[in-house]
Amino acid sequence: MYDFAGGAPAFLALAAAFHERCLEDPDLNHVFSHHVSPGHVENLAAYWAEVLGGPPSYSRNHGGQSKMLEIHAREGGESLEPNFVSCFVQAIEDAQLPDDPDFRASMRGYIEWATKDVVSYSAKESVVPPDLPVPRWSWDGPA
């Protein structure tokens, strides 16, 4: 999926478009305007690229799935999954990723799965297992 999407430039465009969409969303704006590290767009692009078949740069530079989950764990509050998914789907269009129905469906399936995974660690007592590898997602779902 990484190659089909257009490689690293496509994922950087997707992450930038997603970030902008989240800033425009009234529920996500606070999180994305106040709790985001300076390299967030580039890190997000590297993470999604790795998950979707690209090089393991996120794991090499940031420590993999457990580290990503720790960043988002124990935040509590209500679930913003629908907004997050909606911004992602719209960002695919904004970033001009391929308009292929199977590709788009797989990308949506991925982000729906991924948001549920992150939200599963939102409770204050959540414990993220150490050393989880970054998941891999293919055209058919989890690889």
Give me the amino acid identity at 34: H
Query: Which residues form the domain of 102?
Result: 2-142
- Mean pLDDT, contiguous 10-residue spans, the chain (143 residues): 98 96 86 70 96 97 92 78 94 98 97 92 94 95 93
CB atoms inside a 10 Å sphere around CB 140: 9
Q: At what angle do helices 81-94 and 7-24 cross, to 10 degrees?
A: 130
**Gap between the Cα atoms of 20 and 39, Å rounded:** 14
Query: What pLDDT score does 112 carry?
Result: 95
Q: Write out pLDDT tens, residues 20-58.
A: 999 999 888 766 665 667 788 999 999 999 999 999 999
- For residue 80, the domain's CATH number is 1.10.490.10
Query: What pLDDT score does 76 carry?
Result: 72
Domain count, the chain: 1
Give me the amino acid identity at 50: E
User: Which residues are CB-contacts of 132 (< 8 A; sequence separation ≥ 6)?
Assistant: 64, 65, 66, 69
Say how far residue 88 (Cα) sits from the centre of its chain: 8
Query: What pLDDT score does 29 carry?
Result: 79
